[in-house]
């Protein structure tokens, strides 16, 4: 209980420096790009639903591409037996040398928690996975998921709590996404061959259609009016404490600690995750 109270106090101190932009409108800001009617914009553009059945999943994409920004969306994930499903929210450019910053939520059997899978691609190279359990049920109500991307660092946040930092370490030869504008994409799709317990648990299609909800999408970019502190945003003392809390109690996997895969990523030689 004491640990939970102290974390709540840290969040209240930290969150003011990470306030999101005002909500956008899905009619104005995105296109539903696939799914043959399985993606729907609701509530005058404030909410969007994606559905998956045995025939197809669905997805949407921002109308604009962005070079740096803070991107927020509230999501409520597929409830119940979501095994085999993957719900996503990510930034990506195009081509073989693309950049990408990922949120992927891997479903599980009823009563078991989701896995939050994050990854960063630079110039077409990924394999920078970090995975987490969430400290709440992401299917019960909406929670906020955010990507802050500026020239110095990428900060990935859940309910304004930082869970991951990827710093610009070009000085030691680590590529950093800074030249390719990226679009927001989101999807709900079937990945039963790998998503749940390495593919051991398959999708139960008797539970279909599976549906996830998105609302209050916002993008704070260089074109936005007002405060642009995000362009140089870093973690303060409270933010670093919150990051350590998440990584101590909720991190499941860190590519830099995986000796079996023997990654040679240069950033793994630097203690830049805290």
Q: The CATH number of the domain where 73 resides is what?
A: 2.60.120.200
Q: What is the pLDDT of residue 20?
A: 47
On the 0-12 / 13-18 / 19+ scale of CB atoms within 10 A, 11 is: middle
Structural domain of 143: 26-268
- pTM of the entire predicted model: 0.92
Half-sphere exposure of 196 (CA within 13 A, CB side): 23
Burial 169-206 (b: 16+ CB within 10 A, else e): beeeebbbbeebebbbbbbbbbbbeebbeeeebebbee
Spot the catalytic one: 100, 129, 192, 267: 100
Output the average pLDDT for the chain: 90
The Cα 143–Cα 160 span in angstroms is 10
Give the percent of the chain with pLDDT over 90.
Answer: 77
Please report whether residue 2 resides in a domain: no
Please report whether residue 18 resides in a domain: no
100: annotated active-site residue: yes
Please report whether residue 14 resides in a domain: no
- When divided into structural domains, the chain yields a total of 1
Spot the catalytic one: 104, 129, 192, 267: 104
Mean pLDDT of all residues in 255-274: 74
The Cα 87–Cα 210 span in angstroms is 10
Helices and strands of the chain, counted as H and E runs? 3, 15
Mean pLDDT of all residues in 154-174: 96
Please report whether residue 32 resides in a domain: yes
Q: Using the predicted structure, report yes or no on whether residue 14 has a pLDDT greater than 60.
A: no
Least confident range from 18-22, 75-79, 194-198: namely 18-22
Q: What is the pLDDT of residue 225?
A: 79
Please report whether residue 4 resides in a domain: no
What digits encode the pLDDT tens for the residues 62-112?
A: 999 999 999 999 999 999 999 999 999 999 999 999 999 999 999 999 889
């Amino acid at each position: 209980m004491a640990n939970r109270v102290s974390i709540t106090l840290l969040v209240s101190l930290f969150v003011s420096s990470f306030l999101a932009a005002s909500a956008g409108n899905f009619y104005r800001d995105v296109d539903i790009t696939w799914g043959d009617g399985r993606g729907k914009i609701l509530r005058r553009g404030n909410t969007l639903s994606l559905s998956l059945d045995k025939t197809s999943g669905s997805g949407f994409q921002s109308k604009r591409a962005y070079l740096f920004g803070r991107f927020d969306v509230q999501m409520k994930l597929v409830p119940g037996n979501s095994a085999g499903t993957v719900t996503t929210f990510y930034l990506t450019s195009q081509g073989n040398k693309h950049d990408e910053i990922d949120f992927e939520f891997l479903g599980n059997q009823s009563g078991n928690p989701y896995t939050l899978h994050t990854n960063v691609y630079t110039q077409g190279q990924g394999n920078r996975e970090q995975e987490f359990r969430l400290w709440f049920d992401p299917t019960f109500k909406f929670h906020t998921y955010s990507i802050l991307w500026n020239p110095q660092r990428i900060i990935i946040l859940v309910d304004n709590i930082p869970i991951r930092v990827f710093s610009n370490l070009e000085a030691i030869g680590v590529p950093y996404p800074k030249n390719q504008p990226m679009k927001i994409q989101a999807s709900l799709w079937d990945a039963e061959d790998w998503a749940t317990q390495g593919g051991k648990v398959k999708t139960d299609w008797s539970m279909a259609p599976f549906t996830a909800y998105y609302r209050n999408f916002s993008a704070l970019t260089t074109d936005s009016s007002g405060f642009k502190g995000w362009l140089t945003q870093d973690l303060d003392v409270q933010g670093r404490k919150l990051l350590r809390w998440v990584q101590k109690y909720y991190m499941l996997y860190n590519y830099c600690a995986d000796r079996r895969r023997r990654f040679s990523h240069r950033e793994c030689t630097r203690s830049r995750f805290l």
